[in-house]
Structure 1
Amino acid sequence: MDSSTDQLERSLLIATLDSLDTPHHLGPAIASAAAKSSETLVIALLSPLFELRHVQQGSQDVLARTGKSLVTPISRTDRWDDVQQLLTYVYVQATKVAQDNGRILMDVTVLLRGCEQPLPADLADGMDICFLVQGDNNIPSLPLSIRTLPQTVLPSGNRVSIVAAPDPSQSSVEALYPVVALGGTFDHLHAGHKILLSMGAWITERKLIVGVTDDLLLRKKTHRDLLEPFSVRVEKSRSFLQLFRSDLEYELAALTDVYGPTGWDPDIQALVVSKETLPGAAAIGKERARKSLPALQTFVIDVISPDSEKLDHEDAELLRQTKMSSTFIREWIAKNHDVEKNANT
């Protein structure tokens, strides 16, 4: 294996997790991989905790093996906060490094996979390198296309090995919901969007409905001329979701009002929103009640909010320094376009 590498365009980082604790030990490897990548970084986190199988009770427990330890797949809704915090940490670590290096448009993607869910063979397509993490000896069998990529081992922080074995869930919340809905603009798809989409797919059993704001509702946005067309925003969102979980059905619909399909579809059981869009969730609840539609279980993405209390001080400060905003991206594009224009005149 190579011990060093020059600047690369497209990189893959693979690491394993044995708990849902914030993976601070991966911080150095994530930062190094992000610094070495100029266009794309895909981070694949593998763990038995991410298996898609339902947790059974008593003697029917489904166990997955990691090294010498047996780990039970988790209830995806019970560990909602842990998973969104984990995703946020990884995205922020990589995105902050990319932004510090002026690579505002660098594409960072984080995948969560069970050890028995093989990574897609085409994930290696166009990749320049596969990064691994020092001391990570639990990597499961990888597709040949990934195994034959050039490999570099990156340094790790102190790894605390805690095998998570959560107690059987006593929650009244379902482990997965058949049909889940969420919405957003998804312009210049960034880490904040991907966390929202990932968490929606995370708790879905069969179908995820994604409302994508129609072009007509975006006329007052800053730098409107730099907004991606509706078709582009839909395609990028769909491509990301297919990579994150290819087993689900995805319906991407135009949002022309606050409700979208949640305003009329009785076959939706759960809604995923950000903390900032909670008023929209309340409006949807009232509309469904008015139409005698079943109430929705609401799940909130609140870790990425500026005033989040779910991150420790250092992680919260790093989040505040990291700009996960379509407006910021459009402003950056406009500024750089002006600089290039002035340089050519």
Structure 2
Amino acid sequence: MPDPDPQPGTRDHTLLILPFTPELLDSPHALLPIIYRSVTASLRSHTVLFCTPRPSVLATSSSASAPATSSRIHASPPPQLFAALRRDPRAHFHALQTFLGKVYATMAAAQWQVGRVLMEVEVHFLGEDQDHSWETILKREATTVVVLEGHQDIIPPSVTSKFPSPIVIPSVTLDDAHDLPTSPPATYSPSASASPGPPVVALGGTFDHLHAAHKLLLQLALFLAIRKLIVGVMADKTLASKSNARLVEPIERRIGAVEEFLLRCGAVRPSASPTPTPAGKLADGIMGGDGRLGMSSGPKSDADADADAVVMDVVEIQDAFGPTAYDPDIQALVVSRETLSGGQKVNSTRLDKRLSRLEVFVIDVISSDLHTGHYGAAAGEVEGLAKDLRDVMDEGRLKEVKMGSTAIRQWIADGEGRGEA
């Protein structure tokens, strides 16, 4: 029998393993209450790992089923839906951002409900990289693995070997599960018209107290990039006017948090430390044409054997433009709806310098249809869940649903006032 609903704050670190199918990609609502309750039971971190099941598992998941037996354990996982999406990122960008937005918004709402705003929450997919970089979370002590009843077979072997007795919780009915094909359907597979994502993608921000909305942006930018992801992190001196500026994390910590998250998502570091290059000179195709130093990221090292891995270049920037104002080797920019005007200014600046226009990808949906009562009576009390979160990436909406860095710093300041710091 599955375990009953968890009690709030009973686990240090939680790894919640859930199925990932085309139907759930289109409508993950059946999973959101499960994610919400699981987050409230966690104290220090909560990770959701989505895995594509075999159809035989899905066909029986809607009914009470016996625990997985050795005869149902397979040596290797089935073809993963995320890997299929990744081969045609432009076509599936909107669907993935909507899905991820709903999941991250659910986890953030749960964090605020239980007052654990600084708890780490993140999402990973089996198949997001060949090296399974997310497995570093398995090294955390006091980790609890949780899986849905009837879906024990989707647990990766690396998890099973370390955590042979996961907690099993009541499952949900997956509509039309018996109709799922044995592999991702044609609509989620590469075709003759499929095109890869941009070779080099850039985005920027403060990334203070790295939270769910930040991770949504970073993950989607990495999903798009083929060769390199450039992340500009605002310098300390540019943030002096922020509310509760004294609580803004130092640049080293903010850059480190971004790098560690991207590493868990499968990105790799450059093989060598960036080499400053005099302005106006070329360094691996990067020109410092605005009088600032260019940065050479260098090739991937031999240790980065996965040829599909994306190199990350996380750099300090002194203004809102960063490398996008002068680097000819950038093809795309990821922005939130709130910062769309900034993206337009970037392209205007590039055109003035006779650089190519960047393709702009707007993250305009983090969640939708998350209303009071959707998570059950207790969760219905969460401030903000009564609102439609469709526009949560707007700064005003972020404040309303308490997902921005500004609200996090205010929460910390309020705690200091109560003597909780």
Residue identity (%): 34
Correspondence for 1:179: 200
Q: CA deviation at 1:115?
A: 8.3
Q: Does 1:133 align with 2:161?
A: no
Residues 68-99 of structure 1, C-alpha deviations (whole Å, 9 max, x = no match): x9998131111111101111111122221221
Q: Does 1:240 align with 2:261?
A: yes
Q: Does 1:255 align with 2:317?
A: yes
Relative distance call for 1:146 and 1:10 in structure 2 (3 A) is: farther
Q: What is the DSSP-based 3-state SS (H/G/I as helix, E as strand, rest coil) of the residue aligned with 2:313? A: strand
Task: Tell me, yes or no, if the aligned pair for 1:28 and 1:155 is still in contact at 8 Å.
Answer: no
How many angstroms apart in 1 are the aligned matches of 2:219 and 2:40? 24
Moved more, 188-197 or 2-11: 2-11
Aligned amino acid, residue 95 of structure 1: A
How many angstroms apart in 2 are the aligned matches of 1:144 and 1:222? 42
Q: Does 1:24 align with 2:86?
A: no
How many angstroms apart in 2 are the aligned matches of 1:224 and 1:194? 22
Aligned amino acid, residue 243 of structure 1: R
Correspondence for 1:213: 234
Q: Which has the larger radius of gyration?
A: 2
Q: Does 1:47 align with 2:109?
A: no
How many angstroms apart in 2 are the aligned matches of 1:225 and 1:340? 17
Relative distance call for 1:92 and 1:171 in structure 2 (3 A) is: farther
Relative distance call for 1:331 and 1:213 in structure 2 (3 A) is: same
Q: CA deviation at 1:312?
A: 3.3
Relative distance call for 1:72 and 1:166 in structure 2 (3 A) is: farther
Residues 185-236 of structure 1, C-alpha deviations (whole Å, 9 max, x = no match): 0000010100000000011111100000111110100001100001100000
Q: What is the DSSP-based 3-state SS (H/G/I as helix, E as strand, rest coil) of the residue aligned with 1:143? A: helix
Correspondence for 2:419: 340
Correspondence for 2:405: 326
Q: CA deviation at 1:136?
A: 2.2
Task: Tell me, yes or no, if the aligned pair for 1:46 and 1:115 is still in contact at 8 Å.
Answer: no
Aligned amino acid, residue 15 of structure 1: L
Relative distance call for 1:174 and 1:280 in structure 2 (3 A) is: farther
Aligned amino acid, residue 361 of structure 2: F
Task: Tell me, yes or no, if the aligned pair for 2:132 and 2:266 is still in contact at 8 Å.
Answer: no
Relative distance call for 1:167 and 1:41 in structure 2 (3 A) is: closer
Relative distance call for 1:78 and 1:70 in structure 2 (3 A) is: closer
How many angstroms apart in 2 are the aligned matches of 1:30 and 1:107? 14
How many angstroms apart in 1 are the aligned matches of 2:114 and 2:189? 45
Q: Does 1:89 align with 2:110?
A: no
Question: What are structure 2's unaligned runs of at least 5 residues?
Answer: 54-75, 268-308, 375-384, 390-396
**Which of 190, 210, 213 is 2:211 aligned to?**
190
User: What's the RMSD between the two structures over aligned residues?
Assistant: 3.1
Moved more, 191-200 or 100-109: 100-109
Task: Tell me, yes or no, if the aligned pair for 1:92 and 1:318 is still in contact at 8 Å.
Answer: no
Moved more, 27-36 or 258-267: 27-36
Relative distance call for 1:326 and 1:31 in structure 2 (3 A) is: same
How many angstroms apart in 1 are the aligned matches of 2:33 and 2:189? 34
Q: CA deviation at 1:12?
A: 0.6
Correspondence for 2:365: 303
**Which of 98, 115, 118 is 2:111 aligned to?**
98
Correspondence for 2:369: 312
Correspondence for 1:152: 167
Q: Does 1:73 align with 2:94?
A: no
Task: Tell me, yes or no, if the aligned pair for 1:47 and 1:114 is still in contact at 8 Å.
Answer: no
Q: Does 1:229 align with 2:229?
A: no
TM-score by length of 1: 0.83
How many angstroms apart in 1 are the aligned matches of 2:324 and 2:16? 37
Task: Tell me, yes or no, if the aligned pair for 2:198 and 2:226 is still in contact at 8 Å.
Answer: yes
Q: CA deviation at 1:102?
A: 1.2
Q: CA deviation at 1:149?
A: 5.6
How many angstroms apart in 1 are the aligned matches of 2:230 and 2:82? 31
Task: Tell me, yes or no, if the aligned pair for 2:15 and 2:46 is still in contact at 8 Å.
Answer: yes
Residues 269-324 of structure 1, C-alpha deviations (whole Å, 9 max, x = no match): 111000010111111101111111111111000013xxxxx733638836366321
Aligned amino acid, residue 218 of structure 1: L
Correspondence for 2:296: none
Aligned amino acid, residue 228 of structure 1: E
Q: Does 1:14 align with 2:21?
A: no
Task: Tell me, yes or no, if the aligned pair for 2:210 and 2:258 is still in contact at 8 Å.
Answer: yes
User: Could you say which structure has the higher strand fraction?
Assistant: 1
TM-score by length of 2: 0.69
Task: Tell me, yes or no, if the aligned pair for 2:77 and 2:156 is still in contact at 8 Å.
Answer: no
